[in-house]
Structure 1
Amino acid sequence: MKNLLLKAFIVCTILGSNAAMSQEVENNETINISRSLTSFDSTSKKLVGSSYIQKEFLPAKVIESDVTYATRFNVYQDEMEIKKDGEDYSLPKTSNYTLVFQGTNKTYRVYKYMVENTEKPGFFVELFKGDKIILLLKERIILQEEVKPSTGYEKYKPPTLKHIKDKLYIGYKNNTTAEVPSKKKDFFNLFSSKSSEVEKFAKSNRLGIKDPEDVTKIFSYYNSLK
């Protein structure tokens, strides 16, 4: 990864074609052009699993600059990787652009969220975005460390990258987030004066509060209320 080339690439392509967006970045944001380091050897033959849900590079468009890149999301490292002239780059974690994968319309934006009591930026899937409310999905892959047998009866367990249950978040216009409550009472209280109406809609349509598709329908319904 060449930091100078990456910096020039980011400024000239993603930000350079949109003056207003570029100005916002210069004044309010710091572009992170360094890539995360893995805590394991990704080329190790012992490693099981993958950092990616979708391993192949697929075309994705940066809406604000109308530029398309070969892209894939490194879920474990929370890095959006692209290919440019045969080299690998990482897009910055700023909130100034929307990345849409063509063919699937899967949309990513950067929001801030809490990790071990520390707020950090990360890529989220936008499941629904309305005037009143935004529903996000945080995809998650974790590293399970290798387990060496302590006795002759135990088996060796290799280091494993595992896709665990994704989390639902509420997105706010200031690009912060909060986890969607798992308890029904807390969940429907999100909708304030419309909570009873939304709960009735969910019950009549047999919609749960943990399934992403069901919650998307609930958020969409709430957004349609006057």
Structure 2
Amino acid sequence: MKTVPILLFLFICSNYNSQTLLSLYGTGLVPSNNSVIGSKKSDKLTYDEIEGSAYFDKQFSMASVSTSYEDVLVRYNIYKDEVEFKKNEEIMVLPKTDTFSKIVFKNSKNVLVLLDSTGYYFEIVKGKYALYKKLKTKFIDFVPAPTPYQADQPAKFRNMEPAYYIKTNDRLIGNFKSTKDLASQLPDKKDVLNSFLKSNKIKVDKEEDLIKLVNFLNQQ
């Protein structure tokens, strides 16, 4: 006899929660500025005038940006390390705050996390030991032709090699030069790591190898 009231209560709670998601739109938001200032060719170059892309994916994708806010269309600007969102045909920048510290792309399942003041990282492995990937894009300025017989070198964006980091409970380590360097940055796991590294051909610049290593650490 109590089943119907309980189900009704759960339905009302669920409906209430879905209706109380905040709208990511209002005062205090910063509009996106898709330009590079200070080029030799112009005081300001728009992204359309630059070869390559500043974005992980130029197209907007639906994503969850907070448990308290509605899902929105977003894209990640690697060059500026900003997450842009689109609503009502306006493009704004997502605030870098704890409220918006985890962006989950619905289709690709990629996860971006904001780690303090160091910016956004792609989450590769979750756990006590987490693996993150940092992407960077470099702006290479326009170079005028040195002679009338040579062509100008256009301004371009160039993707840099990704950098990988391992997060423990209290710190973020990275910029590994070798497996020996990696083990030295985890002194409490040095013995088990050295044993693991001896029996596995791990390369510190290979994502699949680091996934294997971090999964091993999480099993200890």
Distance 1:210 1:43, change over 3 A: closer
Contact between 1:202 and 1:208, CA under 8 Å: does it hold in 2?
no
Q: What is the TM-score with the length of structure 2 in the denominator?
A: 0.74
C-alpha distance in structure 2 between counterparts of 1:188 and 1:92, whole Å: 36
Match in the other structure for 2:216: 221
- Indicate the percent of aligned positions where both proteins have the same amino acid: 24
Match of 1:92 among 92, 95, 98: 95
Indicate yes or no: 2:186 matched with 1:191: yes
Deviation at 1:44, TM superposition (A): 5.0
The structure carrying a bigger strand percent of its residues is 1
2:114 alignment partner in structure 1: 110
Q: Which runs of 5+ in 1 are unaligned?
A: 1-10, 15-30, 113-119
Tell me the distance in 1 between the aligned counterparts of 2:211 and 2:63: 23
Match of 2:124 among 118, 123, 127: 127
Q: Which residue of 1 aligns with 2:62?
A: 59
Partner of 1:165: 161
Change (3 A) 1:57 1:203: farther
Aligned with 1:38: secondary structure?
strand
- 1:33 Cα shift? 4.3
The one-letter code sitting in structure 1 at the alignment partner of 2:153 is K
Equivalent in 67, 74, 79 of residue 82 of structure 2: 79
Distance 1:134 1:32 in 2: 31
Structure 2 unpaired stretches of 5+ = 1-20, 38-43
* TM-score where L is the length of structure 1: 0.72
User: Counterparts of 1:204-219 in structure 2 under 5 Å?
Assistant: 204-219=199-214
C-alpha RMSD of matched pairs (Å): 2.8
Q: Is the 1:93–1:123 Cα contact (8 Å) retained in structure 2?
A: no
Are the structure 2 counterparts of residues 137 and 65 from structure 1 closer, same or farther at C-alpha, using a change threshold of 3 Å? same
Aligned partner of residue 149 in structure 1, secondary structure:
coil
Match of 2:135 in 1: 139
The size of the alignment, in residue pairs, is 190
Distance (Å, rounded) in 1 between the aligned partners of 2:175 and 2:130:
11
Larger radius of gyration: 2
